[in-house]
Amino acid sequence: MAWSLRTGQLSDVDPVLQLWVASAAEPTHTDDVESLTALVVHDPSALIVAEADGSIVGSVIAAWDGWRGSVYRLVVAPTQRRRGLGRLLLAEAEARLAVLGAVRLQAIVVEHEPRAMAFWQDSGWEQQAHRVRFVRG
């Protein structure tokens, strides 16, 4: 199956959220229409989607804060897994962030998700040791 990657649009917000639910991506409190819409409005190129046969089958958020690039919500539909789509999405996210000037990238990965951990451990990225993440909200 051939995939096409493109920048996500406001019209993709609902299908992307549906993909996240269908893919059993661990939900966060910002997995909602308002938050994803705000992202697309704030940084129109941050959301990257993969399509196959007119349906969104993958997504990744490649965010740049001017100092560090961040990769969020790398999600592949269950029917498309283990075919290289995750790597393709990650490469597209890395390319976008490089164009913006990011030289250091980070990804937040759910530690108790074995598929996610296996993907990232095989990605060429390094798991950072001796750091704890603090959040608010």
Question: Within 10 Å of residue 127's Cβ, how many Cβ atoms?
Answer: 11
Number of domains in the chain: 1
Q: Is residue 61 part of a domain?
A: yes
Q: Is residue 104 part of a domain?
A: yes
Span of 41-45, 69-73, 113-117 with lowest mean pLDDT: 113-117
Q: Is residue 72 part of a domain?
A: yes
Q: What would the pLDDT profile of 11-34 be if each residue is shown by its tens digit? A: 999 999 999 999 887 788 888 999
The mean pLDDT of the chain is: 92
CA 37, CA 35: separation in Å to the nearest integer? 5
Q: Is residue 134 part of a domain?
A: no
| 3-state SS string for the chain | CCCEEEECCHHHHHHHHHHHHHCCCCCCCCCCHHHHHHHHHHCCCCEEEEEECCEEEEEEEEEECCCCEEEEEEEECHHHCCCCHHHHHHHHHHHHHHHHCCCCEEECCCCCCHHHHHHHHCCCCCCCCCCCCCCCC
The CATH number of the domain where 31 resides is what?
A: 3.40.630.30
Of 119 and 3, the one with more pLDDT: 3
Range of the domain at 15: 4-121
Q: Is residue 39 part of a domain?
A: yes
Q: Is residue 68 part of a domain?
A: yes
Q: Is residue 129 part of a domain?
A: no
Give the model's confidence band at 1: pLDDT under 50 very low, under 70 low, under 90 confident, else very high: low
How many whole angstroms from its chain centre is CA 104?
16
Q: Is residue 88 part of a domain?
A: yes
pTM over 0.85: yes
